[in-house]
């Protein structure tokens, strides 16, 4: 089934971590001084920078974690905890995260590419995924799928905000947080199960 395929699971979790829907109000607020055509070009440029950053962290993740001597079980458990914390923040967002003043100059890298899209959570997560035995082409394709969906949503941000309204965006973000929480718990349980099995046979 497609829903059990690694690409679907990885794409879904990475898409939720990029939080394109939750970032719609922030992107609109930060770019509202620019003309619509320039807004789209800036969004595509910033998302491209974010994609390159995420891929760099993915390909360097295995080397970095191996150098630290981190086990696969530790990676899975810590990954589950990280995703849980992000899911909780999506379900119960702070009011400060929804308010941003428009920038006087055109943004470059900060804050749109980093940290709004390629933030600490997704960068840590792709490093963890690099150690979980997922085929490289599956992981890269999943990152690109999540990125493409996020880019499409943010390019269409003004229209989507009119259609969904702020209340609809908030509801969707909470739903995404609930699904991400399920994925986080499963990752955590997989890590605990692997740890128990590993130490049982020692």
The 10s digit of each residue's pLDDT in 65-106 is 888 888 878 878 888 888 888 888 888 887 655 555 566 678
Is 181 in contact with 87 (CB distance < 8 Å)? yes
pTM (predicted TM-score): 0.83
> Would you place residue 201 in the very low, low, confident or very high pLDDT band (cuts 50, 70, 90)?
low
| 143-196 tens-digit pLDDT | 999 999 999 999 999 888 888 888 888 898 898 889 889 888 988 898 899 888
Residue 149 main-chain phi, psi, to 5 deg:
-65, -40
Ordered by start, the domain boundaries in the chain are 2-200
What confidence score (pLDDT) does residue 97 get? 52
- CA 179 remoteness from chain centre: 13
118: left (phi over 0), alpha (psi -120 to 50) or beta: beta
* Region 2-200: CATH code: 1.20.1250
* The dihedral sign for the CA sequence 78, 54, 119, 174: negative
Counting residues of the chain whose pLDDT is more than 90, the rounded percentage is 32
Cβ neighbors of 36 (< 8 A, separation 6 or more) are: 158
- Give yes or no for a contact between 50 and 113, defined as CB atoms under 8 angstroms apart: yes
Assign residue 165 a region (left: φ > 0; alpha: ψ between -120 and 50; beta: otherwise). Answer: left
| Per-residue confidence (pLDDT) for residue 15, from 0 to 100 | 94
Q: How confident is the model at residue 32 (pLDDT cuts 50, 70, 90)?
A: confident
């Amino acid at each position: 089934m497609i829903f059990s395929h690694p690409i679907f699971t990885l794409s879904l979790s990475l898409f939720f971590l990029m939080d394109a829907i939750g970032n719609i109000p922030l992107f609109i607020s930060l770019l509202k001084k620019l003309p619509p055509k320039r807004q789209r070009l800036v969004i595509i440029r910033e998302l491209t920078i974010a994609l390159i950053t995420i891929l760099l962290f993915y390909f360097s993740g295995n080397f970095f974690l191996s150098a630290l001597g981190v086990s696969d079980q530790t990676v899975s458990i810590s990954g589950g905890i990280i995703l849980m914390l992000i899911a909780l923040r999506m379900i119960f967002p702070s009011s400060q995260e929804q308010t941003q003043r428009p920038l006087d100059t055109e943004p470059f890298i900060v804050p749109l590419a980093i940290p709004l899209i390629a933030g600490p959570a997704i960068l840590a997560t792709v490093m963890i995924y690099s150690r979980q035995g997922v085929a490289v082409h599956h992981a890269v394709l999943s990152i690109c799928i999540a990125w493409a969906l996020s880019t499409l949503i943010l390019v269409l941000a003004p229209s989507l905000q009119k259609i969904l309204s702020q209340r609809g965006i908030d509801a969707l973000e909470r739903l995404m947080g609930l699904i991400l929480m399920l994925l986080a718990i499963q990752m955590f349980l997989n890590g605990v199960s692997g740890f128990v099995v590993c130490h049982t046979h020692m």
